[in-house]
Amino acid sequence: MTSGFVNLGTPPIRPTEPFAAFDAEIIRTIEKAICEAWNLLRCSARIDLSTANETDITKELQDSIIDVMNSGSVNGFVPELFNHPSRDGSVMDYSGNIQKRSQISQFICQNLCPYL
């Protein structure tokens, strides 16, 4: 079918997603944790954000996210459910093919113990 004034044509075939969509509440929880970690970092004497380079800020943010997780200050963002954030990891995008290289990756715990 060709596109025209009343017909925009057939949409491209999307690949099948390799994993189920994350619920919005999970994304919101992680977002809250990152905001909390950033606020902690801004008030902290650990690093001067105005002069530090990107790598140092990312590392401190990672530590700050771990602090938030261990403190339990963000509801649901707890070590029972989330792994410690990792840096410079490669992750799949929705198509399952392209590798995305994020500064910080936050994963849900998996493979706890095969015998339980």
Contact partners, residue 68, CB within 8 Å, separation at least 6: 33, 36, 37, 40, 74, 77
20 binds another protein (CB under 8 A): yes
- Which single residue is written with the structure tokens 């994963």? 107
Q: Which is nearer to another protein, 6 or 24 (CB)?
A: 24
Supply φ then ψ for residue 87, to 5 degrees: -110, 150
Q: Tell me which residues in 74-113 interact with another protein (CB under 8 A).
A: 75-76, 78-81, 108-110, 112-113
Q: Tell me which residues in 37-66 interact with another protein (CB under 8 A).
A: none
Q: How far is the CB of 27 from another protein (least distance, A)?
A: 10
Q: Which is nearer to another protein, 20 or 45 (CB)?
A: 20
> Applying CB under 8 A, which of residues 70, 86, 95, 102 lies at the interface with another protein?
70
What ranges make up the beta strands (E) of 1-77?
A: none
Q: How far is the CB of 70 from another protein (least distance, A)?
A: 7
How would you class 26 by CB atoms within 10 Å of its CB: exposed for 0-12, middle for 13-18, buried for 19 or more?
middle
